[in-house]
């Protein structure tokens, strides 16, 4: 990049530090540490970026992950590679945590039929939200947190990026907790779940270091193993399935349980909307947006609903097997699956493979979380991705160890909570693109993606998002708080946060954005 020093803005400062071909030489004046000079200055960050860049070149790993992928830097994809747009999502969605989430319907007192309908509908709805945001990747060449700058602006978008980091770390913790518990079950509880958590975290972060190319290659094929395992689960659970027991909750409590379960399922799939475009930036700019939307939506919805349905079927067997019910209540989903899969040797082998499914999800979380951290500030952008990956790794382990005793409670609270802010994020992105920019990517100044002075101020998005927070609180139903709207359903309440947030953010953003454009013209 060739920009005059006198006119350097934030874009040039970041891109120069990360992208420029810089000559690094050892500085004899800084001989007490491994510090190298760049442009006559000692800078350890630049040297670390240099080392990461050299490592990426040697190993064929993706360099400078947050930069915009220019059209001439991409290649055409084969029909199989385009089809893999859908297969990509099967591996991180059809997994052990997904199966454990499928058991929540039984805990909420719903019948098997009611639970299955919630899982299918909620997965499709959340998958469509992620599918829409995925369509921004190929036309812009930008990661999701960079795309949203055209709605949220430079500064408010940092809030979104931080929330996304928290989200990816939280999902990593979900995977580690469920995987650690399953490993403990495999070892007949001679292995502490906490040790299992550390093992899962180490493997996940190790693979994520290798960047997007390796991740895509792995995720395209890994799902086939877990598809077969879930089909076996359906078959072996079939003789014990209870499809006759009616819901234990009635009236308004039944409606509340359905709404809360829908919020959990929707949250588990819609949360992909904050990283969806990250995985399509290498595709040609003219890749069909309809194709991307459909394949992403179905690629998320079908595996998720399949995995959750497997969990629901497994949970229903507990109505006919008190021993299985006791095992689940004492040790969780891992012990229940050990009893459904048989014989014993085979069940232990299967559970080990299902533990590997957790790694599929955690790899993507470990990749996208550091990307969002790099986009929160100029300084953070200059810190190499491998450092942020390690930081996220440490936090994930801490959260996992803290929440290891209550996976079901963690799933219910965490997944639904994530859906709330993703709904606001999606609505704002939707109205900005379809109404303000008329659904035309030519109305985006893509060269300004990293320039604060050329992007919107984000005032409209900030206010609308803030009002959305109020809506969340009013309608949310969590273990630790039930909003006034949710309380109307009695019992533990009915989660209306997403519905209320959708309306509030949708109604407020458009007029506020029109006013913002009138005064600031961007």
- pLDDT band for position 103 (50/70/90)? very high
Stretch 472-483: mean pLDDT: 91
Give the pLDDT confidence of 374-417 residue by residue, as tens digits.
Answer: 777 777 877 877 788 888 888 988 888 877 666 667 666 777 88
Q: What is the pLDDT of residue 430?
A: 97
- pLDDT band for position 368 (50/70/90)? confident
Give the pLDDT confidence of 413-439 residue by residue, as tens digits.
Answer: 777 888 899 999 999 999 999 999 999
pTM of this prediction exceeds 0.75: yes
Q: Choose among 54, 74, 79, 75: nearest CA to 64.
A: 54
Stretch 202-206: mean pLDDT: 82
By CB neighbour count within 10 A (0-12 exposed, 13-18 middle, 19+ buried), where does 114 fall? buried
Distances 75 to 81, 138, 295, 372 between C-alpha atoms, Å: 11, 11, 20, 25
Give the residue, 36 or 153, on which the prediction is more confident: 153
In the three-class reduction of DSSP (H, G, I as helix; E, B as strand; rest coil), residue 25 is classed as strand
* CATH superfamily membership of 71-439+454-520: Hydantoin permease (1.10.4160.10)
The rounded percent of the chain whose pLDDT value lies above 90 is 52
Give the residue, 33 or 96, on which the prediction is more confident: 96
In the three-class reduction of DSSP (H, G, I as helix; E, B as strand; rest coil), residue 521 is classed as coil
Task: Please tell me the least confidently modeled range out of 45-54, 162-171, 355-364.
Answer: 45-54
Residue 22 pLDDT > 50? no
Cβ atoms < 10 Å from Cβ of 379: 11
Q: How far apart are CA 178 and CA 115, in angstroms?
A: 21
Q: What is the pLDDT of residue 513?
A: 98
Q: What is the pLDDT of residue 476?
A: 94
According to CATH, where is 1.10.4160.10 located in the chain? 71-439+454-520
Q: How many helices (H) and strands (E) does the chain have?
A: 22, 3
The rounded percent of the chain whose pLDDT value lies above 70 is 84
Q: How far apart are CA 24 and CA 38, in angstroms?
A: 6
Average per-residue pLDDT for the chain? 84
Residue 2 pLDDT > 50? no
Residue 130 pLDDT > 50? yes
Q: Are 208 and 367 in contact (CB under 8 A)?
A: yes
Stretch 497-514: mean pLDDT: 97
Q: What is the pLDDT of residue 271?
A: 92
Residue 20 pLDDT > 50? no
Residue 36 pLDDT > 70? no
Q: How far apart are CA 272 and CA 269, in angstroms?
A: 6
- pLDDT band for position 8 (50/70/90)? very low
- pLDDT band for position 7 (50/70/90)? very low
Stretch 438-442: mean pLDDT: 96
Q: How far apart are CA 517 and CA 522, in angstroms?
A: 6
Q: Which of 59-63, 128-132, 339-343 has the highest mean pLDDT?
A: 128-132
Q: How far apart are CA 90 and CA 226, in angstroms?
A: 9
Give the residue, 317 or 391, on which the prediction is more confident: 317
Q: What is the pLDDT of residue 45?
A: 67
Q: Which residues contact 61 (CB under 8 A, 6 or more apart)?
A: 55, 209, 210, 211, 213, 214
Q: What is the pLDDT of residue 4?
A: 40
Give the residue, 7 or 162, on which the prediction is more confident: 162
Q: Which residues contact 324 (CB under 8 A, 6 or more apart)?
A: 317, 318, 336, 339, 340
Cβ atoms < 10 Å from Cβ of 435: 13
Stretch 38-46: mean pLDDT: 58
Torsion of CA 83, 87, 89, 91, to 10 degrees: -160
Q: How far apart are CA 166 and CA 153, in angstroms?
A: 20
Residue 12 pLDDT > 50? no
């Amino acid at each position: 990049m060739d920009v005059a020093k006198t006119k350097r803005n934030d874009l040039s400062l970041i891109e120069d530090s990360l992208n420029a071909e810089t000559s690094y030489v050892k500085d004899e004046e800084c001989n007490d540490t491994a510090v190298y000079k760049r442009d006559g200055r000692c800078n350890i960050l630049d040297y670390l970026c240099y080392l990461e860049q050299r490592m990426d070149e040697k190993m064929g790993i993706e360099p400078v992950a947050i930069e915009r992928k220019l059209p001439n830097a991409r290649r055409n994809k084969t029909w199989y590679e385009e089809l893999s747009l859908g297969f990509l999502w099967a591996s991180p969605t059809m997994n052990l945590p997904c199966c454990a989430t499928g058991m929540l319907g039984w805990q909420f007192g719903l019948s098997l039929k009611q639970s299955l309908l919630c899982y299918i509908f909620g997965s499709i709805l959340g998958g469509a939200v992620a599918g829409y945001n995925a369509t921004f990747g190929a036309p812009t060449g930008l990661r999701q947190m960079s795309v949203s700058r055209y709605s949220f602006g430079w500064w408010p978008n940092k809030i979104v990026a931080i929330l996304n980091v928290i989200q990816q770390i939280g999902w990593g913790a979900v995977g580690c907790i469920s995987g650690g518990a399953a490993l403990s079950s495999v070892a007949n509880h001679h292995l502490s779940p906490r040790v299992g958590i550390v093992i899962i975290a180490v493997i996940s972060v190790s693979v994520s270091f290798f960047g997007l190319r390796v991740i895509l290659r792995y995720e395209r094929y890994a799902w086939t193993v877990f598809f077969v395992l879930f089909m076996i689960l359906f078959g072996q659970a079939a003789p014990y399935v209870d499809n006759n027991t009616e819901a234990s909750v009635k009236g308004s409590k039944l409606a509340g349980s359905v709404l809360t379960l829908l919020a959990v399922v929707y949250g588990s799939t819609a949360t992909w909307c904050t990283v969806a475009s990250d995985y399509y930036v290498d595709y040609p700019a003219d890749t069909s947006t309809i194709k991307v939307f459909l394949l992403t939506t179905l690629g998320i919805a079908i595996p998720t609903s399949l995995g959750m349905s497997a969990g629901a079927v497994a949970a229903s067997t507990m109505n006919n097997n008190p021993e299985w019910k006791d095992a689940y209540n004492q040790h969780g989903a891992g012990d229940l699956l050990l009893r459904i899969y048989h014989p014993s040797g085979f069940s232990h082998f299967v559970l080990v493979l299902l533990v590997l499914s957790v790694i599929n999800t955690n790899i993507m979380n470990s990749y996208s979380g550091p990307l969002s951290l790099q986009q929160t500030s100029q300084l953070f952008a200059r810190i190499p991705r491998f450092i942020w990956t390690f930081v996220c790794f440490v936090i994930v382990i801490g959260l996992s160890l803290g929440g290891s005793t209550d996976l079901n409670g963690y799933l219910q609270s965490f997944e639904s909570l994530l859906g709330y802010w993703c709904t606001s994020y999606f609505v704002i992105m939707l109205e900005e693109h379809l109404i303000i920019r008329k659904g035309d990517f030519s109305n985006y100044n893509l060269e300004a993606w990293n320039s604060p002075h050329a992007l919107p101020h984000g005032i409209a998005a900030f206010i609308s998002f803030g009002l959305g927070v109020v809506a969340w609180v009013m309608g949310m139903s969590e273990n630790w708080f039930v909003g006034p709207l949710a309380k109307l359903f009695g019992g533990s309440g009915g989660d209306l946060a997403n519905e209320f947030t959708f309306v509030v953010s949708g109604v407020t953003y458009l007029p506020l954005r029109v006013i913002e454009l009138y005064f600031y013209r961007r």
